[in-house]
Amino acid sequence: MVRILRLRLDLHVHTSNSYDCRLRIKDIIRFCKSIGIDGFAITDHDKLISRIEVKSEEITILPGMEVTAKGAHILAFNVYETIPPNLSVKETVELIHLQGGFAALAHPFSMFRSSLKESEFSKARFDAVEIANASHFLYDWNFKRGSSLADRFKLPRIGGSDAHFLEAVGRAFTIVETDSVEAEDILKAIKKGNTLVHGRGITILEKIFSKLKFELDSLHNSI
């Protein structure tokens, strides 16, 4: 009999390889273990960390990146080469699929970050929609609109924190029912729709404080 695992995964986390983040992978691992998160996806802005760097015996880590396409940000999971930014959404998703990767539309209704028309979305052959993103304001409103989009196009739902500071990690997450902790099997389970999404948004004060801390750290490191 196959044992089904219910993994709590934060599918949108940034590290110090993103221009606007200083999180170290080892600190993310430690924090996830402390709050009961079983794993996370590394989704740095337009950068891909090598699979050797993300390998861990302690926790499940999905390799990936957040690609800046024209009009949208796209989460590319399980790709082997960097996807170039500033291509059309359709081109970006096609390049992800050519590598055997998994493409999810990130924060589709976030203010100032997304301007993707539904007609473009329908042509792009996404594998999933990120309906929960803890780092973008109006969390509940975005959750409802993202859910409606996923329902209309019959796509799986995922969620993640979009964390740029440690305390945000795991604030939104995806429960994936899978029979394996391997990245390929987890993504297959998501494609089948074996997911539940939970979470809540960060506060304005948390956002301001994290931004100030990042700027102070940057100033200190430049001296």
Q: Assess whether pLDDT exceeds 90 at residue 112.
A: no
Separation between Cα atoms, residue 202 and residue 54, nearest integer Å: 26
Of 66, 12, 152, 70, the closest CA to residue 144 belongs to 152
CA distances from 203 to 28, 36, 156, 207 (A): 20, 21, 27, 6
Separation between Cα atoms, residue 171 and residue 165, nearest integer Å: 11
The two structure tokens encoding residue 16: 């110090």
The pLDDT of residue 1 is: 61
Every domain of the chain and the residues it spans? 5-222
The pLDDT of residue 160 is: 98
CATH level 3 topology of 5-222: TIM Barrel (3.20.20)
Q: With pLDDT > 90 as the criterion, what percentage of the chain qualifies?
A: 82
Q: Assess whether pLDDT exceeds 80 at residue 60.
A: yes
The pLDDT of residue 115 is: 76
The pLDDT of residue 219 is: 67
pLDDT for 64-97, tens place per residue? Answer: 999 999 999 999 999 999 999 999 999 999 999 9
Show the DSSP H helices in 99-174 as ranges.
118-123, 139-152
